Amino acid sequence: MNIKCINLRIVLVMTVLMGIAYPFAMTGIGLLVFPHQANGSLIRNEGGKIVGSELLAQPVTSAKYFKPRPSAGDYATMPSGASNLSPTSRALLGLVQERKAAVILENGLPEDTAVPSDLLFASGSGLDPHISEAAAKLQAPRVARERNLPLEQVLSLISENIDRGGICGEDGVNVLKLNVALDRLR
C-alpha cells in the first residue's frame, strides 16, 4: 500500500476521532455530570428570565445595584483582556484616580476613604464576576439608601452571598448573584 494512502487514512481517522467523537463525548459527559456549568452557569430572576452567567461580569448602571470590578474590555466576552498598562503608566494612574473619584462620589464617601483595589483596577480578563467583601460593604450604604432598605439587611445579604475561596482561593462576592438576591427581597 502506498505511504500517501496510509497517511491520508491516519489523518481522516484522527480527524473523526479527535475532531468529532472526542468533543461530542466530552460535551455529553459535561452535560451529564455538570449540567449547570455545561449550560453556561446561567442565573435566572424570580420570573425565570435569564439575567446573565455567574461566571461573567456585566456592566451595571443603576445606583440600586452593586457594581462589579472595572473592565478594560467594556465587559465584552470576545475581546476580553487586560489593559496591558504597566504599573508605572501615567495612563493607569489617571484611570485609577478617575475610578476612585467616581466610587467616592457615587457612594457619598469622604475624599480620604480607602477604596478597595478591586473597585479601582480591572481584572486580567475584564470579566471577573466577583468583588471582595470589603468592596461590597463599601457599596452597601448606597444600595440600602437607593432601595429604602435597612443597612443591616443589605450587609446580611452580602454575608449570605460570599463564595468561599476554598483551599487556595480568596473569598469573594458574586455581583450578579448578589443583585438577583436583592431583587428577590421585594
159-183: pLDDT as tens digits = 999 998 878 888 999 999 999 999 9
Cα 170–chain centre separation:
14
What is the pLDDT at residue 3?
A: 83
Residue ranges of E strands in the chain? 42-44, 50-53, 130-131, 162-163, 172-174
Residue 32 — very low, low, confident or very high, per pLDDT cuts 50/70/90? Answer: very high
What is the pLDDT at residue 166?
A: 74
Q: Could you tell me whether strands 130-131 and 42-44 are parallel, antiparallel, or unpaired per DSSP bridges?
A: unpaired
Question: Mean pLDDT across the chain, nearest whole number?
Answer: 91
54 within 8 A of 62, measured Cβ to Cβ:
no
Indicate the pTM of the whole model: 0.81
Residue 165: partners with Cβ closer than 8 Å, 6 or more residues away? 171, 172
Q: What are phi and psi of 183, to 5 degrees?
A: -65, -30
Tens of pLDDT, residues 56-109:
899 999 999 999 999 888 888 777 777 788 888 899 899 999 999 999 999 999
